[in-house]
Amino acid sequence: MGLLLQAAVAEDFIVDDIRVNGLRRISAGTVFNYLPITVGDRVDEKRTQEAVRALFKTGFFKDVRLEREGDVLVVEVIERESIADITFKGNKAIKTEELLKGLGDIGFAKGEVFNEGKLDKVTQELRRQYYSNGKYGVKIDSKITPLDDNSLTVAFTIVEGEAARIREINIVGNKVFSDKELLSEFKLSTPTWLSWFTKDDQYSKQKLSGDLEALRSIYQDNGYVDFHVESTQVSITPDKADVYITVNIAEGEQYTLSEVKLAGRLIVDEKELFEQVTTRKGMLFSRKETTQTSKNITDRLGNEGYAFANVNSIPKLDKEKKQVALSYFVDPGQRVYVRRVNFYGNSKTRDEVIRREMRQMEGGWISTAQVERSKVRMQRLGYFEDVNVETPAVPGTTDQVDVNYTVKERPSGNLLLGLGFSQSQGLIFNTNITQNNFLGSGKSLNFAFNNSEINRTFRLGYVNPFWTLDGISRGFNFGWTETEAGARLNNVTQFNSRVASVGMNFGIPITEYNFISLGASYEATRIGINPFFLDPQVARFIFLEGDDFRILRLSSAFSYDTRNSALFPTKGVLQQIRGEIASPGGDLRFWKVDYDSRVFFPLHKDYVLLVKGSVGYGDAYGDTFELPFFENFFAGGPRTVRGYEESSLGPKDIFNDALGGNLSIVGNVELILPVPFIKEFKSVRLTAFYDIGNVYDTTFEDVEIDSLRMSTGVSGIWLSPFGMLSVSIAQPFNDQLNDEIQKFQFTFGTTF
C-alpha cells in the first residue's frame, strides 16, 4: 500500500480556516489535536511537510494530503481500517481470552485502528505466549479480510505442535544439598509416569522462574545468606522437542544470627512487639522466618490503626565470623481511620444484615484483624459464594481509608423436589423448601417432607439469628417423624416409631468465639413392634416402661468456634459439648451428653490436616431403669466409621441387627487434598482418611480398646445444585466376623 504525501501550497499564506475531508470514524477534533497548524499561522512548504508527518505518525491514516483553497487549509485523509474482529483457530493450550489479552497489551484489539506494520509484532507476541508454555514448534498464519464499512477482520490459524519435554535438569555448584533434595522442590521435572496428567515435564519460563526462587528459599532459609544463581542455560534440540536446563549456583557460607533487634518508631511497647519476632540470636539465618517476622509486626501495628506500616529487615553480615546482625526497622506511618464501610454486590441481602457482622467500626482507627474477622463472619453466614475486601485511601487525605467489601451472592432459597438414594435408607423422596435469607433479612424458614423406605418426615422451622440487637437468636420447630427402623436396609433392631414434636431454641454469643445454645421441646413418641422379630432387650424395655411416651426434653450446648468457614473450613477449631435431659414432666427420665472436637491444621500449600473426635454417653435416672433403646448411639457409615454399613457397629440383637449403645467413641484423621484442575471450584472437597470407633453398652460389657473398628481410604464431597453428594472408598481393618462391611459408600439427595 503506497503512501502519498502532497503539499499543495505554492506560496506562503496565513491560514484563515481549516477543513478536514475524508473522516469516517475519527473526529475532526482528533485531527486538530495532532495537526501542528492552527488558524492564524503562516504556512509554508516546510510547515505542511511537518504537518503531514505528524498526522501520519498517529497511525490513523494511510494517506494524507494538504491542499489550499484560497486562505483555507484543506486536509484530505484516508483512514486506516479498524479491527472489527480477531479470531483464533487451533488454539488449545492457551485460551482465546489469554491470547487476546496479550495482544491488547500491545495495542492490537477489537475496535483499534489496523496497522499492517504491527502484524509482525503481533505474531511475535503470540509466539512469545506459546514459547512460555513450551510450544517451540508453533506455527502461526494470519488472514486479513476487508469489510464494506472500512473495517476488517483478522483471523489467526495456529498449529501448536507438541510441547517441548524436559530431558535433563542439571544443577551445578551444589555441595550442601543433593540434586534430589533440590529438584524435589521444583515444579518442573523430567518425564514421570504422571507427567501426562501434571504436565510438569513441559518447559515454561514462568515455572522455571518460580523454581529458581524456590532454590533461593532452600538455601536462604538454611543460613546461606549470600547464595545466588550465577546463570541459567536453557537449550532446545534442533527439532524443538527436547529441553535441557542447566542452573549454575554459588552456595556461599552458612550464617547464624549474632543479634536481633528492633529499630525505628516503636508505637507498641518494645517487649510486646518483640513477641512477634520469630528469629533469635544463635539461630540460622532464615529468609522465611525473617519475612514472617516482618509480617507479624506489620499485622500487630495494623491492629493499632497503622494500616500502611513498613517493616524492613536489615541484615549486617560479618563474613569473617559468618554471622548476621539482624535489625527490623519499623516505620508505622500515620494512624489511619475508617471513613466508611461499604458493601457491593449484595443485591438481595440488606446492608443491615451484613453490617451487624462487622467488627470494624466506622469512625474508629482501622484494625486489620477486625477487618479480616468481619470478612470471616460474612463468609460464615452462608449467603455468599465469595467475599473480598479492599481498603483504598480516601482521595485527598493521608489518614483515612474506606473499607469496601465485595460479595457474590449465592441463591439462599432452595426448592428441592426429587428423588435420592442412600445405601442406608434406600429410595428417598424429597420435598424441601428452604429460605436461609428470607427477603434479605437474614432470617431462615424451612419446610421439609421426606419419604424413604424407613423414614417419613415432616418438618417446619424458623430462626431469627438476631432476635435481639446483641445477637441472641431464637428459633421454633415443629416436626412429625415415622420410622420403620426394622427395615432390613439399615441394620438396626426392628421397631417402628411415631414422633410428634414442637420446640424452641435460643443461641447466645458469649464472646467472639464462644456460644451457648438452650432449647426445649415436647415430644409425643409411640413405639410399634413386630412380635416375630422382637429382641429381648427391646421387649424388656416396653414391658417395664410401655410403648407410649411424653418427653419434655431440655438441651444446652457450649461451643468454641474459630473456623474460617462453616461449610468447607481450612483452618480453625470447633469444640462443642452438648447435653440434653428428659426432665420431670414427661414419662421417661434419661440424659445424654456428647463432646465433638474438630481441629484444622493448614499444611504445605493447599493441604489441610483435620483431626476429629467425638464421645457420647447417656444413661437413665429416677424411675427409668435404662437409657431408652431408641435414644442409643450408633456408629458405622459415611458420618462416623466408613467402610462399615451405616449404624451397624456395636452391640447386636439376636437377629444380628444393631442395638446401639449408651457410649459412642469415634475418631477421624483426614488429609484434605487440593482438587486437581478445579481449585476455584469451592463446592468440592477431596480427602484421604483414617477412621476409628465403636459403640458400647456399658450395662452389659466393658469398653475394650482392642474392639475399636478402623478403616482407611479416600472420600469426596460435592455440594451440587441438587443436594449433597458424598462418596467414599474404604478398607476396613480390625473388623470382626459378624461385621457388615461396605467398602464403597455414597449418599445423594440428602444433606448431613
Tell me: the pLDDT tens digits for 696-722? 999 888 888 889 999 999 999 887 665
| Predicted pLDDT at 297 | 94
Q: Mean pLDDT across the chain, nearest whole number?
A: 86
Please name the fold of domain 82-159: Ubiquitin-like (UB roll) (3.10.20)
d(CA 49, CA 65): 10
Q: Which residue is listed with cell 448431613?
A: 752
Neighbours of 486 (CB within 10 A): 22
DSSP character string of 550-608: EEEEEEEEEEEE--S-SSS-SSEEEEEEEEEEE-BTBS--EEEEEEEEEEEEE-STT-E
Kind and range of the H or E element at 49?
Answer: helix 45-57
Q: Specify the CATH class of 256-331 in words.
A: alpha beta
Q: What is the pLDDT of residue 110?
A: 86
Residue 670: predicted pLDDT: 96
Q: Which residue has the cell 491542499?
A: 67
pLDDT digits (tens, 9 = 90+) for 583-631: 998 999 999 999 999 999 998 778 899 999 999 999 999 999 899 998 9
Query: How many angstroms separate the most distant Cα atoms in the chain?
Result: 126
Question: What pLDDT score does 676 carry?
Answer: 67
Cell, residue 568: 468447607
pLDDT above 90: residue 331: yes
State how far the alpha carbon of 205 is from the alpha carbons of 130, 197, 202, 232, 328, in Å.
10, 19, 10, 11, 34
Quick one: angle between helices 119-131 and 96-104, nearest 10? Answer: 130
pLDDT of residue 419 exceeding 70: no
CA distance 221 to 237: 36
Q: What percent of the chain has a predicted confidence (pLDDT) above 90?
A: 44
Mean pLDDT across the stretch 680-709? 87
Q: Read off the pLDDT of each residue in 629-643 and give the average, rounded to a whole number.
A: 92
Q: What would the pLDDT profile of 267-283 be if each residue is shown by its tens digit?
A: 888 889 999 999 999 99
What whole-number percentage of the chain has pLDDT above 70? 92
Classify domain 165-250 at the CATH topology level: Ubiquitin-like (UB roll) (3.10.20)
Checking if the pLDDT of 316 tops 90, the result is yes
What pLDDT is recorded for position 617? 97
- Give the Cβ contact number of residue 253 at 10 Å: 12
User: Tens digits of per-residue pLDDT, 8-19?
Assistant: 444 688 888 899
Could you report the per-residue pLDDT of 85-138, keeping only the tens digit for each? Answer: 999 998 988 888 888 888 888 888 888 888 777 788 888 889 888 887 778 888
Task: Please report, for the chain, the start and end positions of each structural domain, with discontinuous segments joined by +.
Answer: 5-79, 82-159, 165-250, 256-331, 337-409, 413-748
The reported pLDDT for the residue numbered 485 is 56
**Across 556-584, average pLDDT:** 91
Cβ atoms of 512 and 485 closer than 8 Å: no
22: left (phi over 0), alpha (psi -120 to 50) or beta: left
* pTM to 2 decimal places: 0.66
Q: Are both 82-159 and 413-748 of the same fold?
A: no
| CATH architecture for the domain at 5-79 | Roll (3.10)
Residue of higher predicted confidence among 457 and 421: 457
User: Which tops the pLDDT comparison, 5 or 373?
Assistant: 373
Contact 297, 330 (CB under 8 A): yes
User: Is 232 a residue whose pLDDT tops 80?
Assistant: yes
**Confidence tier at 657 by pLDDT (50, 70, 90):** confident
Top-level class of domain 337-409: alpha beta
Number of residues in the chain: 752
pLDDT of residue 9: 47
pLDDT value at residue 4: 37
Q: What is the mean pLDDT of residues 40-61?
A: 86
Query: Can you read off the three cell numbers belonging to residue 498?
Result: 411415631
| The predicted structure's pLDDT at residue 745 | 85
**CATH architecture of the domain with residue range 413-748:** Beta Barrel (2.40)
In whole angstroms, what is the distance from residue 318 CA to residue 186 CA? 32
Q: How far apart are the first and last CA of the chain?
A: 71
Comparing 647 with 405, the larger pLDDT belongs to 405
| pLDDT grade for 441, boundaries at 50, 70 and 90 | confident
Question: HSE on the CB side for 234, CA within 13 Å?
Answer: 18
Q: What does the pLDDT read at residue 751?
A: 38
